[in-house]
Amino acid sequence: MILTMPEEIMLLLLDDRTGRPIGLPAPAGDYALASAILMELSLQGRVDTDPERLMVTDQKPTRDPVLDEALTMLATSQGMRDSRHWIVELGRRTDHFRAMVLDNLTTKGVLRREEGRFLWVFPDRRYPKPAEGAAEVKEVRARLRDILLNDEIPEPRESLMIGLARAAGLVPLILSAAEAERAMARVDQVANLEELGRTLSAVTKEVYAMMLAFAGAH
């Protein structure tokens, strides 16, 4: 089963045992998902980037509702916009896109939706991985961890995923603290293999740092 980058990022952001989002400082998960959407559109040949703008190169639908909605936003925008603008703009709609990605994963059988109550009052929704079904999907964290702990040259998709994980502070979700310390040079090596990864990862890191600075000042 082939998953999109937004779907793989979502699996990375869900706790394996509880199916609930892992508690990360905002807005790490938001901008990781936004950047993953742009990266997937690029991998599918729908957008391209340069330092000054992000361009739609093909408006043909991808047949993925998340990607197609984002592609429509990009295609109908007035004026020249760069990657930074679109990471922030998509990041503002993360709740909406996150719900769509979770629906996709549930439909594919990768996750199952469970509804409950927290403290018997508050609605509580979680998305655990089913015990059976979708067995062919190798766990995202394990696959990326394997890449970082060996010397093989990864595919462009894996390089982009690791670059995104580095920029948004998600490497601790892939490697233990000891592994991350040993593999620091490897993380940088893999993350910098793809030009798109270098561009969007740098922008993601910049936007993330800016938002953290803003939050700290208020």
Residues of the chain with pLDDT > 90, as a percent, come to 37
Predicted TM-score (pTM) of this structure: 0.84
Nearest to 94 by CA among 72, 69, 58, 129: 69
Q: For the segment 148-173, what is each residue's pLDDT rounded down to a tens digit? A: 999 888 998 999 899 888 877 889 88
Return the SS3 of 50.
coil
pLDDT tens-digit map of 61-84: 999 999 999 999 999 998 888 888
Name the pLDDT band for 23 (thresholds 50, 70, 90): low
Q: Are 98 and 33 in contact (CB under 8 A)?
A: yes
| Backbone φ/ψ region at 134: left (φ over 0), alpha (ψ -120 to 50), beta | left
- For the stretch 81-129, pLDDT in tens is 888 889 889 988 999 999 999 999 999 888 888 875 544 444 566 777 7
Say how far apart CA 180 and CA 170 lie, in whole Å: 11
Tokens standing for residue 60: 């043909």
Q: Is the pLDDT of residue 60 over 90?
A: yes
Domains and CATH numbers, the chain: 5-216 (1.10.3630.10)
Distance CA 135, CA 156 (A): 24
State how far the alpha carbon of 204 is from the alpha carbons of 16, 164, 196, 215, in Å: 25, 8, 12, 16
pLDDT at 74: 95
Cα 213-172-148 angle, rounded to 5 deg: 125
Contacts of 127 (CB under 8 A, 6+ apart): 14, 19, 20, 102, 105, 106, 111, 112, 113, 114
For position 132, what pLDDT does the model report? Answer: 53
